[in-house]
Structure 1
Amino acid sequence: MLSAACIALCVALALVKPTYLVFVVGVLLVVGIVVGLNIRWFRHRLARLLHGASDASSAAQGSFAAMSVPVVILTGGSVAWYNDAFRDDVMGGRDVCLLPMSKVVPAFMPALAKEKTGQNIEFGGQRYSVYGSGVEAGDGLFVAYFVNNTTLKRQAGEYLATRPAVMLIAVDTYDEILKEMKESDRARVAGEIDLALEQFIGATTGFLRRISASRYIAVVEERHMQEIVKNRFSILDKVREIGEEAGTVTLSIGVGRLAATLREGEAMAVQALDMALGRGGDQAAVKSAEGFEFYGGVSRSVEKRSKVKSRIIASAIKDLMAQSESVLIMGHRASDLDALGSAVGMLRFAKLCSKPAAVVVNERQSLGANLIEEFRRAGCGDDFIEPDEAEKCIDKNTLLVIVDTHLKAILESPELYRAAKTVVVIDHHRKCVGHIDDSVVFYHEPYASSASELVSELLQYIDMTKENRLTPLEAQALLAGIMLDTRNFSLHTGVRTFEAAAYLRRMGAQTQAVKKLFNSSFESYAYKAQLVTDAEIYMGCAVVFSDSVPAELSVVVPQAANDLLTINGVEASFVAVDNGAQVSVSARSMGDVNVQVIMEKLGGGGHLTMAGAQLRNTSLEEAKRRLLDAISEYRESQRTEKQKNS
């Protein structure tokens, strides 16, 4: 009060006698210094009275004061008391009594400190774990303990940063590219690959070793793996540029990250590499406790399959059928001509092994109704049974063959799969997370055009007689599956595709009869035309969302997606239809857009140029939002990749 009165008189004097301004300023300066020193002395004296051990007025206060752990007591959000350890260790000897805690330690939050794990705070170059209890607001008391664990946290951070990540690297195109070169060119390209990998790993503290002609193993620290992931495995792009003159050279990388032991990390890397190869190669798959992450996969797959493997698989399946009493074959939900065609092929395989067999299909939701109807006209309608009927007759001696899918979530009958003791999988789609992992035989070839192509090859390695052989109708079913997935041999075809088609033609398949299997009714054609008319262009993609297509006409969905690709400027097409039970999405592209990656974000999968997803318990509006977000995210990643490469 005296200081305030003195300041007021000085101001009045300066107004009356401006000549005394210098004197007034001097007086105010002295008053300010005196007031500041007194406040500081008062705060220090008050702090000593409140937190000093010798002045402790209670046993509790004395106990807190003697603690080596910094303790502070708050009331109304302000500092009411603290011990010497808090002042010296946390505040650096500064007294902060009665100051708001938000100014003393801005990062401190009582609500977090009350949690079982406490609150981690970095203050004054030190790291603390703060634990508290009491009333956070009002007149109550809140006690906070500041545990200095700087050294422990730094060591823990260093431990995590130095965790080894195991990396398995495979040259995808070694057999297809390098082995066809002259010795000098092969040595040059192999040397460039070695140099690129050595520079890639040499930028880290890890090491690289060659374990075979086309495989390497590397171990790097987690701190460097974070940078590698941040750069989205730039080595993939660098190696892809090496063999551009002689042919594309690509890598597949599997990484086991944050494993408990090196052995576990190596096992995770093996799984990750298998996943990368199963998705077509030219990408990196990272396996951690949280699951898989994928990087790359921007180039087309290079066909690499061995007829020896087909013969071995055919022999293995024949042996399994010999040990079984019956065989059931099923594909994916909403089965198409490829699923039904390959199932019919495996049905003939089972008959050649003299085993009773049937194809499990939900005819009401099948997209291959024309094919089933053709078999009924031929007197083979009993070869197709409904899922609920199959679930009643399956037993421990039944062999279940799954075709055209390897995902548990989209099987025609998940219950049938769970009831089966012996399972065989035949599929050509790129491997996805959630695949069937308990099959006896897992024949997975992402380089094949279709499951029908794979089954056609298997049939060539089983003995047939003139009386018991593939019928023309069965050959036409297999050829229809190949034509569907290759869009009449225009996409995703290789030498083996045409070899399989030639074999089916020799077995009596008539192309004009196959073409009729793709015919549709006038009503379905009208719905397809309406879907094409309703299309909108979004980021270079044609997208359609509809809830007016009947469930029995869902075959028009992929047909509309194919037709949309014929429009100039459309790089990919997405058709989503709500049929009540689920929202079905069909995606197609000409190769510039990887629709498999986009569909995987919706829980689906497929190939680079053909993919799909089935969203259950999802409204059409929600499906639209998710699809557009997935397209935007993919386009953004494409833009980032182009900027990085440029």
Structure 2
Amino acid sequence: MKSGRKVNKLLAPNTRIYLMILAIFALVIALFHVYLGIIAAIVWVFLVYYNWISNHERSKKWEDYIESLSGEIDSAARYAILNLPFPLTLLNLDGKVTWYNSSFTELFPDTRLLGKDIHDLVSSFSLEKLTSEENGYSDTKLGERYYRIFYNIVEVNKESKDDRFIVMLYWVDITEYTKLKELYSDERSIVAIVQVDNLEDVLKSTKEEKRMFVLSEIDRKVNLWASRMNAVMKKYQKDRYLIVFENKFLENLEAKRFAILDDMREIDLGNKTPVTLSIGVGSLGRNLSKLEEYAFSALELALSRGGDQAVVRMKGDFKFYGGKTKAVEKRNRVKARVIAHGLRPLIDDSPKVFIMGHKYPDMDCFGAAIGMYRAVVNRGKDAYIVLNQVNDAIFSVFELFADNDEYKFIGDEEALEMITDKDLLVVVDTHRPSFTECPPLLEKTDRVVLIDHHRVGTEQIEKVVLRYTEPYASSTCELVSEILQYIDNKQKIDKIEAEAMLAGIAVDTKNFSFKTGVRTFDAASFLRRLGADTTLVKQLFQDDIGTFVAKSNIVSTASMYKDSIAIAVCPKDLSNPQLVAAQGADELLNIRGINASFVIGQKDEDLIFISGRSLGDINVQLIMEKLGGGGHLEVAGAQLTGVTMKEAREKLEAAIDEFFEEEE
């Protein structure tokens, strides 16, 4: 290609070369004959002049042609813009309409558009939001039509500061696409699994001749609920139903907060125990198999939170509805025995066992760790309790073990160096990985056992070989004491260990006044038989004068909110603010007319905590979950970062307001 271009250049006519050759010839002629040279020179000058004139005229004609062509293009462009098949609008940077094409006038047939503010014409449109969108467009609705608006900012006047730029808006009609998208969303399948939480207990509390009526009424209500959604329902176990329905009904279910939960509790056909349901809903799955998986995981989460609630899973997100009643205590110990028998070989097959609770441990956490330590040591295995810092909440009970070489307490750095993938890690009194004493320890081994009594939230430890989470239990110490009774026939448990576990039960039940069931007293009785001294346990809870004054300060400065809720602030510069706040919240419940209490405190500059307590009428767990915390119906808490004390109180009040709105 390059050689061809060179040949073309040689063959193409070039008048400059010709004129140079003629000049040389004229010079040569002049050397031989002067007059003929002068004539040749005159001819050469004429040719140069003629060539200049010809080139000038040719350039002028070419310029005229280009100008006429540009004019035609400008005319075509103006015609195209004016008659674009979609609306086009020009705005100044203030949002005023400066020009528009005929398609845009069809959107506002009876309106004078020039000079109008685009925000007044289209209330759902925001020029500022559009120009900040990363994708370069914004969707809006105008009447019954949907438009996708693209923009382009053009510099039109470099000299003017005020009118230097204009904004071009291109309105693309996406109505059909939007309707198709909505139709797809409405008809997308949803899978729900419904389980009767307490069918056995309900039937046991019902006379035999009326049991069939209760079962029939349960089936009727579930069938009626499914039929209202045009759903496909299949009862595949005596207490479980599989329901498939369209996504358009899910929004209504969420708006009514799964009213079937309340309908079931109203069944009264001779049953002394109310019927409760747990519902797991799977949404946004790739296929029906994935939806079923989501529904099962949501149901498992609902059951682990105590039942009587619905959980909706949308991929990795969870929504919770219900859960307003106390978890029903199970009367048999079958599960405790199964867990104990399953834990035994896990301990025996592990070279070492590490026991870890949550950060800032309380007596329940510490007592449960001591109980599991004893269970491991009795199996002849080395055990270690991961504990970084002894806080004021456990200082008194820790002193019972501090000088005893039999108990091995290690920090997180030492634990990370010692643990291997063959060792066993037992996590007690928390299911949240971020709340544990050493979160990286969870990644060091796949052999993790979880024992907890808190209602499970969306954040939980995933890699668990054995899970014992019972929200009906008063404390983790209650669960551990039951495990100790079944893990070995001949358990050697020291007196101080029994006292540590009894103290854990006492602190979570507020001396057996809250969240206390039959099995709570059974566990306490078991520990008492092992020699636990109740007087010593009471002494573990004695406060110093500073803590007592701080609690009194909380009570005296508390203010009422919504008539029955007390909100107070924990005094600053305390060595144990979280413990004082929790105890202050407990003290506020002793005041007549207060059904729930919240105490806000500050741990450091970046961490603000809230302790919530309730007598049972107000679910403080649901309130704290709105702030990223959790707990139980009667005892819950939350931690906030990056906010001031004033902002924390505003967030708390907003969460309380939202809770009562949902109740209504």
TM-score normalised per structure 2: 0.80
- The answer to whether structure 1 residue 541 and structure 2 residue 560 are counterparts is no
- The answer to whether structure 1 residue 335 and structure 2 residue 335 are counterparts is no
Identity within the alignment, %:
37
Name the counterpart of 1:506: 529
**SS of the residue 1:372 aligns to:** helix
Tell me, in whole angstroms, the C-alpha distance in 2 between the residues paired with 1:613 and 1:151.
Answer: 46
Q: Which moved more, 1:580-589 or 1:455-464?
A: 580-589
**SS of the residue 2:275 aligns to:** coil
Native 8 Å contact 1:551 1:579 kept in 2: no
How has the CA–CA distance of structure 1 residues 588 and 126 changed in structure 2, closer, same or farther, with 3 Å as cutoff? closer
Name the counterpart of 1:176: 201
Aligned pairs, number = 579
* Aligned counterpart in structure 2 of residue 59 of structure 1, from 70, 76, 99: 76
Native 8 Å contact 2:343 2:487 kept in 1: no
TM-fit CA distance, 1:188 = 1.0
Native 8 Å contact 2:294 2:315 kept in 1: no
Name the counterpart of 1:273: 299
Native 8 Å contact 2:365 2:428 kept in 1: yes
* Aligned counterpart in structure 1 of residue 434 of structure 2, from 393, 409, 412: 409
Rg comparison, structure with higher value: 2
* Aligned counterpart in structure 2 of residue 147 of structure 1, from 167, 172, 180: 172
Name the counterpart of 2:509: 486
TM-fit CA distance, 1:454 = 0.7
* Aligned counterpart in structure 2 of residue 70 of structure 1, from 86, 92, 108: 86
Tell me, in whole angstroms, the C-alpha distance in 2 between the residues paired with 1:105 and 1:187.
Answer: 64
What amino acid is the match of 2:88?
Answer: V
Name the counterpart of 1:133: 152
Q: How does 1:222-371 map to 2 (within 5 A)?
A: 222-243=247-268, 246=271, 247-289=273-315, 291-304=317-330, 306-371=332-397
Name the counterpart of 2:7: none
- The answer to whether structure 1 residue 595 and structure 2 residue 651 are counterparts is no
What amino acid is the match of 1:72?
Answer: L
Tell me, in whole angstroms, the C-alpha distance in 1 between the residues paired with 2:589 and 2:119.
Answer: 62
Name the counterpart of 2:476: 451
Tell me, in whole angstroms, the C-alpha distance in 2 between the residues paired with 1:410 and 1:95.
Answer: 61
What CA deviation, in whole Å up to 9, does each residue of 1:422-444 have, x standing for no partner? 22110011111211111221211
TM-score normalised per structure 1: 0.82
Query: Which blocks of at least 5 consecutive residues in structure 2 are unaligned?
Result: 1-71, 156-161
TM-fit CA distance, 1:230 = 0.9
Native 8 Å contact 2:570 2:581 kept in 1: no
**SS of the residue 2:330 aligns to:** coil
Tell me, in whole angstroms, the C-alpha distance in 1 between the residues paired with 2:270 and 2:391.
Answer: 48
Tell me, in whole angstroms, the C-alpha distance in 2 between the residues paired with 1:75 and 1:633.
Answer: 41
TM-fit CA distance, 1:616 = 4.3
- The answer to whether structure 1 residue 422 and structure 2 residue 422 are counterparts is no
What amino acid is the match of 1:507?
Answer: L
How has the CA–CA distance of structure 1 residues 202 and 484 changed in structure 2, closer, same or farther, with 3 Å as cutoff? same
Name the counterpart of 1:606: 631
Name the counterpart of 1:521: 544
Native 8 Å contact 1:587 1:595 kept in 2: yes
**SS of the residue 1:555 aligns to:** helix
* Aligned counterpart in structure 1 of residue 459 of structure 2, from 416, 422, 434: 434
Tell me, in whole angstroms, the C-alpha distance in 1 between the residues paired with 2:525 and 2:242.
Answer: 42
Name the counterpart of 1:44: none
Tell me, in whole angstroms, the C-alpha distance in 2 between the residues paired with 1:631 and 1:509.
Answer: 41
What CA deviation, in whole Å up to 9, does each residue of 1:67-91 have, x standing for no partner? 6x325353665464636x667x757
Native 8 Å contact 1:287 1:293 kept in 2: yes
Tell me, in whole angstroms, the C-alpha distance in 1 between the residues paired with 2:104 and 2:311.
Answer: 49
How has the CA–CA distance of structure 1 residues 95 and 177 changed in structure 2, closer, same or farther, with 3 Å as cutoff? closer
> CA RMSD of the aligned region, Å?
3.0
Q: Which moved more, 1:615-624 or 1:316-325?
A: 615-624
TM-fit CA distance, 1:262 = 1.7
What amino acid is the match of 1:332?
Answer: H
Tell me, in whole angstroms, the C-alpha distance in 1 between the residues paired with 2:115 and 2:399.
Answer: 85
TM-fit CA distance, 1:275 = 1.3
**SS of the residue 1:321 aligns to:** helix
What amino acid is the match of 2:568?
Answer: V
Native 8 Å contact 2:610 2:638 kept in 1: yes
Tell me, in whole angstroms, the C-alpha distance in 2 between the residues paired with 1:603 and 1:82.
Answer: 51
Native 8 Å contact 2:339 2:483 kept in 1: yes
- The answer to whether structure 1 residue 399 and structure 2 residue 424 are counterparts is yes
Tell me, in whole angstroms, the C-alpha distance in 1 between the residues paired with 2:455 and 2:368.
Answer: 17
How has the CA–CA distance of structure 1 residues 508 and 101 changed in structure 2, closer, same or farther, with 3 Å as cutoff? closer
TM-fit CA distance, 1:266 = 1.4
TM-fit CA distance, 1:133 = 2.5
How has the CA–CA distance of structure 1 residues 342 and 106 changed in structure 2, closer, same or farther, with 3 Å as cutoff? closer
What amino acid is the match of 2:76?
Answer: A
Native 8 Å contact 2:571 2:601 kept in 1: yes
What amino acid is the match of 1:544?
Answer: A
Native 8 Å contact 1:209 1:218 kept in 2: yes
What amino acid is the match of 1:551?
Answer: S
What amino acid is the match of 1:210?
Answer: K
How has the CA–CA distance of structure 1 residues 56 and 82 changed in structure 2, closer, same or farther, with 3 Å as cutoff? farther
TM-fit CA distance, 1:598 = 1.6
What amino acid is the match of 1:461?
Answer: Y
Tell me, in whole angstroms, the C-alpha distance in 1 between the residues paired with 2:611 and 2:91.
Answer: 62
Name the counterpart of 2:23: none
Name the counterpart of 1:118: 137
Tell me, in whole angstroms, the C-alpha distance in 2 between the residues paired with 1:178 and 1:159.
Answer: 43
How has the CA–CA distance of structure 1 residues 521 and 244 changed in structure 2, closer, same or farther, with 3 Å as cutoff? farther
- The answer to whether structure 1 residue 469 and structure 2 residue 518 are counterparts is no
How has the CA–CA distance of structure 1 residues 61 and 450 changed in structure 2, closer, same or farther, with 3 Å as cutoff? same
